[in-house]
Structure 1
Amino acid sequence: MSNSTTDWREQLAVGCHAKVEGLGTSYGYVPTLGAGIAYCTLFGLSMIFHTAQFWWTRTWWASVFSIGCMVEVLGWAGRTWSSKCPYNTTAFLMQISTLIIAPTFFTAGIYVILGRFIQLLGRESSILRPSLYLWIFCTCDVISLVVQAIGGGMASSEAGKINGNTAPGTHTMVAGIVFQLFSITIFVICAADFVRRSIRLRLLQNMSGSAIPLFGAMILSVLCIYIRSIYRTIELSQGWSGYLITHESYFIALDGAMMIVAVAVFNVLHPGWHLPKDAAASSKRDVSSVDEVELNRPDGSRGV
C-alpha cells in the first residue's frame, strides 16, 4: 500500500471524518448518535440523583454508583463522538476502556449491600463473612480489569494499523472478561445461597418492610450485570469481526440497557433510605417493648 494511503488512514484516525464508502471502522459500523445522546442523558441523570442521594443520606460508600455512572457517561460520550468521527482512535479507545470499567463500580456497591444484609440477618444467612464479599470479589474485578485493559490497549493499537494483528490483544481481553464472568458467577451462586437461606430460615421477617424492596432491587441489579457479562464474553470471544460486536443493537440492549437498569434501580430504592441501620436490634427492641407492656398490665394478664 502506498505512503499516501497510509498517511490518509493516519489522518482519519486522528481527525474527524464522516464514513467513507468501502472503508470499515473499528466498530464494524457507525455508532448511532441518538443512542449515544440517550445513554449519556440517562446515566448523567442517574449520576446526579445518586450524588444527591448519598450526600443527603450520608451514605458515603454509595458514591460508587455515582462514579460508575460518570464512567458510563464518558464511554457513551466517546460513542457519541464516534458517530460523527467513526475513524477517530481516541474516541474508540475512550469508549472501549470506560464501558469495560464502569460495571465494576456497580458490583462494588452490590457487594456492600449484600454484606450489610448478612450483618443484619445474621451469620447463618451466608456461607461467607460479610467483609469477604468486598475483598474477594473486588479483588477479582480489579484483576480482570487490568487484564482487559492490557488486552484492549494491545488490540486497539493494532486495529489502527494497516494489516495489524489484533489476535493477541483480543485473546488477552477475552481471558480477562472470562475471569470476570467466572468471579461474578461465583458471586451469583453465593447470593443465591443467601436468598435460599434467608427464605428457608425466615430471616427476612426480622427486617422492616422498606428493606424487602431493596432486597429485590439488589437481585435485579445482579441479574442485569450477569446478563451483560455473558454478552460481553460471547461478543469478545467472536473477535473484532464477529457478529455481535459488529451489530450495535446487541450492545445497546445487552450492555447499555442492562447497566442503566442495574444502577437506576438504586435511584428508586436507594440503600441510604431503605437499608435498616440495625434490623435485628430493632426487632428485639420491638419484642421487648411488647413484653414490657404485657407484664405491666394491672391484672398481670397477657393479651391473646
Structure 2
Amino acid sequence: MHTTTYQIYGYTPSFSPNLAALVIFAVFWVAHMTLSVVYRQAWIGTTFSIACGLETAGYIGRVLSSKADPMADAFNDYLVQIICLTIAPVFFMAGIYFMFAQVTLIYGPAFSRVRPWTYSRVFIVLDVVCLVLQAAGGGIAASADGEKEAQHGTNIMVGGLALQVAVTTIFFILCADFAILARKATKAHSASGTPFPPDMFPEKFAYIRDHKFVWYIIYGNLLAVIFVYTRSIYRVAELSEGWSGFLMNHENYFLVLDALMVGLGVFCTLVFYSSIIVGRIPITREFKIIQEQCLEVKAKGDDLDMSSEQPYAYKDDQKISSADINA
C-alpha cells in the first residue's frame, strides 16, 4: 500500500525539532552506556540504553520522513518511529523499577508497603506485558490494509498504554508513600539516636544515606517518573481519538507532550544517577544478603545487640560481620 508522508502522519514532520530530538537522545544514549560501564550497573545501564536507542531510532524515522519526497512512500519510516517511540518508555520505567528496589533496601524494607524486589520483579513483568501489547498493536495498526484492522491494532495499543498508566500510578503512590515514611523516620532517627531493627536503616548502607545528595537522587528520579507518566497519559488520549484525531494530526502536541517529556525524564536519570552515591560495589548481591538476614531475625524473634561494633550483631553471640556480608 502506497502512503505519502502527509497521508500517513496527517502532516509533514518538522525537520529541525525532530533533528534536535535525535541528537539529544543520541547523546543521552552514549551517556547512559558510559555510566553503566563506569559504575558497573548492568540492568539499569541496559534498560536505559535500550530506551535511549529506541528514541534515537524513532527520531531518525521522523527526520527521514520530514525530508522525503512528499509523494514518496513513507510507510517504513513511519513504522519505525511509531513502534520505537511508543515502546521506548517501557524500558525506561524498567530501569526506574530496579533502581527503586535498591533505594528501599538502602533505607530498609520496613518502610515499603511491598517487598523490595516486588518493584523489580512484578512491575517489570507488568512492563513486559505493556511492551508486548504496545508493540503488537502498533505493528497491526501501522500495517493494516483496512480501517477496521487499523482500529483493532489501535485498541490494543491503547490497552497497553492504559495498563502502563495504571501500573505507573500504583508505582508512584508506593514510591511517594515510601519517601514520606523514610524521610520522617530519618529525621526521628537523627534526633533521638534510638536503635532500629535490621529492616530499618541497614548499617551497611549508612554511607549512602548520609550522603548530602541522597534525597536529591530520590526526588529527581520521582520527577522522571512524573514526566514519563505525563507522556503516557498524552499517548492514551491521542490514540483514543483515532489515527485521524486532533492530537494525532498536530505535531506540536507530540513535540511537547512526548518528545519533551521523555527527554526531561531521561535527563533527570542522568543528573540524578543513583550510582553517583552508591558507587561501584556489587550492590545487588549485598541487598539480597541483607534482606535474608532481616527475614531470619523476624522468624527467630531475636533482639538486636546495638552495643556490638559489628553490623547486624545479635545477642547470644549470633554475630554477622562485615566479612560475612562481603563473602
Tell me which interval the TM-score lies in, with the shorter structure as reference length: 0.7 to 0.9
Partner of 2:197: none
The answer for the alignment partner of 1:294 in structure 2 is none
Preserved contact between residue 65 and residue 106 of structure 1 (Cα < 8 Å): yes
Larger radius of gyration: 1
Query: Does 2:256 correspond to 1:253?
Result: yes
**What are structure 1's unaligned runs of at least 5 residues?**
1-9, 290-304
Mapped to 2, the partners of 1:162 and 1:127 lie a distance apart of 47
Matching residue of 1:74: 57
Give 2:271's match in structure 1, choosing from 268, 281, 298. Answer: 268
Paired amino acid for 2:132:
V
State TM-score, norm by structure 1: 0.80
Q: CA deviation at 1:61?
A: 2.2
Separation in 2, partners of 1:114, 1:128? 12
Query: C-alpha separation between the residues in 2 aligned to 1:179 and 1:252?
Result: 23
CA distance, structure 2, for counterparts of residue 275 and residue 244 of structure 1: 42
Q: Does 1:48 align with 2:30?
A: yes
- Give aligned-pair identity as a percent: 34
The match for 1:5 is none
Q: How does 1:109-258 map to 2 (within 5 A)?
A: 109-158=95-144, 161=145, 165-202=149-186, 207=209, 208-258=211-261
In structure 2, the residue matched to 1:90 is 76
SS in 2 for 1:26: helix
Match of 1:301? none
Structure 2 counterpart of 1:295:
none
How far is the alpha carbon of 1:245 from its aligned partner?
A: 1.0
Match of 2:41 among 56, 59, 62: 59
Say whether 1:39 aligns with 2:25.
no
- The structure-2 alpha-carbon separation of the partners of 1:135 and 1:151, relative to structure 1 and needing over 3 Å to count, comes to same
| Structure 2 match to 1:28 | 10
CA–CA distance in structure 2, aligned partners of residues 58 and 142 of structure 1: 24
Q: Is the 8 A contact 2:87 2:134 kept in 1?
A: no
CA distance in 2, matches of 1:258, 1:30: 22
Alpha-carbon distance in 2 for matches of 1:236, 1:190: 28
How many residues align? The count is 265
- Preserved contact between residue 221 and residue 272 of structure 2 (Cα < 8 Å): no
- Equivalent of residue 105 in structure 1, options 91, 106, 111: 91
Higher deviation after alignment, 57-66 or 97-106 = 57-66
Tell me which residue corresponds to 2:322: none
Return structure 1 stretches of 4+ with deviation > 6 angstroms: none
**Counterparts of 1:62 and 1:141 in 2: how far apart (Å)?**
15
CA contact (8 A) 1:144 1:176 kept: yes
Q: Deviations over 1:171-222 (max 9, x none)?
A: 1211121111111111111112112212232379661213222112111101
Deviation at 1:288, TM superposition (A): 6.1
Letter in 1 for 2:272: L
- Mapped to 2, the partners of 1:197 and 1:58 lie a distance apart of 30
Tell me which amino acid in the other structure corresponds to 1:74: A
- The alignment's C-alpha RMSD in Å is 2.6
CA pair 123-241 structure 1, distance change in 2 beyond 3 A: same
Which consecutive residues of structure 2, in runs of 5 or more, have no partner in the other structure? 191-205, 291-305, 311-327
- TM-score with structure 2 setting the length: 0.74
